[in-house]
Amino acid sequence: MTRAVEWATLVKALATVAPLDRRGRARRFLQGLSTDELRYIASYVGACLIECALQPQPATRCQLAREIEEYECCRMTQAGLPSDFAKAAGAELLADVEHKMILLLEYLSSCGCAGAIRVTAGSA
């Protein structure tokens, strides 16, 4: 799959996850992101769908930020990185991860995915 096809596929899939009345807004937000940033958001959404980690009631922005931070800690642990990785990581790598976490929070907040991510059969 070419990078352009992957980018378009990720934008379409992630926009589809947003509630119907916010899909246009989500698509516009997502179109400004790189393939790597889209992959990060998709990995979080995928993990939530597989783990059913998002609660059915709406979450506050602060709760979402904590969930994203927990997700990133789990990602680092699963990758075999020590829990104090942030201290040892280069500033550039740490800034990249923080940037992606902020984009994920903005995506979830702005497109109305602050509660459970519901995907109806055939919608994705």
Asked if residue 60 belongs to a domain, the reply is: yes
Asked if residue 115 belongs to a domain, the reply is: no
- Tell me, rounded to whole angstroms, the distance of Cα 22 from its chain centroid: 16
Q: Phi and psi dihedrals of 114, rounded to 5?
A: -80, -5
pTM for the model stands at 0.76
Residue-wise pLDDT for 47-95, tens only, equals 877 766 445 566 788 888 888 888 888 887 777 655 555 555 566 677 8
User: Does 109 have pLDDT greater than 70?
Assistant: yes
Which amino acid, 95?
A
Asked if residue 74 belongs to a domain, the reply is: yes
Asked if residue 117 belongs to a domain, the reply is: no
Torsion of CA 33, 105, 21, 116, to 10 degrees: 130
Instruction: Estimate the crossing angle of helix 35-51 against helix 61-78, to 10 degrees.
Output: 100
Asked if residue 50 belongs to a domain, the reply is: yes
Number of domains in the chain: 1
Q: Domain of 37? A: 3-110
* Out of 11-15, 16-20, 58-62, least confident range: 58-62
User: Does 33 have pLDDT greater than 50?
Assistant: yes
20 or 57, which is more confident? Answer: 20
Asked if residue 87 belongs to a domain, the reply is: yes
